[in-house]
Amino acid sequence: MTDQHPYLLRAQHIEAGLQPFSHPWNPNSEILGAYLGRALGLKRTGVNLAKIPPGKESFVYHAHHREEEWLYILSGTGIAEVDGQEFEVRAGDFMAFPTPSVAHHLRNGGEEDLVYLMGGENLDVEIADFPHLQKRMVRTQESIDIFNIAEAKPFGPLKG
């Protein structure tokens, strides 16, 4: 019996593949993570393992317009900011953000790593808002553009 298979990612390979990353707009963003789905060839669905150290945060408060997202807490405790409210989250808790989603963000206020699975869609086009920063991201294929929401101009009226 072989220990390797193209459809199986072993725990030791996941642990060895953990990489640090952060969001450039949040100086407190610090995650150690692994792209599980991508490692086995998933293209339309993202599944990732993430670990946030104590006192650190995930990315930045954001909302998706097109891509659904979910999180499942494996261990530790954290604070989820969701649609302007804060909730404590712990092992076994699940969060889902259907589109268009409400804004959300996660931080570790506990004493140990906050470990969770996160995932969602990988669409060709995504729009995400960052309400605290008043910015909007538009991603098309491999191109990302950032706009100040306050500078948006209406393009109307649309004719049917």
Mean pLDDT of the chain: 94
Question: Using an 8 Å Cβ cutoff, are 16 and 6 in contact?
Answer: no
Nearest CA among 125, 115, 122 for reference residue 145: 125
- What pLDDT, on the 0 to 100 scale, is given for residue 44? 94
Question: Using an 8 Å Cβ cutoff, are 71 and 52 in contact?
Answer: no
- Is the predicted pLDDT of residue 154 greater than 90, yes or no? no
Under CATH, which number does the domain 20-122 receive? 2.60.120.10
- Is the predicted pLDDT of residue 110 greater than 70, yes or no? yes
Give residue-wise pLDDT tens across range 4-57. Answer: 788 999 999 999 999 999 999 999 999 999 999 999 999 999 999 999 999 999
Give the three-state DSSP class for 48.
strand
What percentage of the chain reaches a pLDDT higher than 90? 89
Phi, psi of 157 (to 5 degrees): -75, 150
Domain boundaries, the chain: 20-122
- Is the predicted pLDDT of residue 1 greater than 80, yes or no? no
- What pLDDT, on the 0 to 100 scale, is given for residue 6? 83
In order of 13, 43, 52, 73, the CA distances from 112 in angstroms are 23, 32, 9, 13
How far is Cα 30 from Cα 28, in angstroms, rounded to an integer? 6
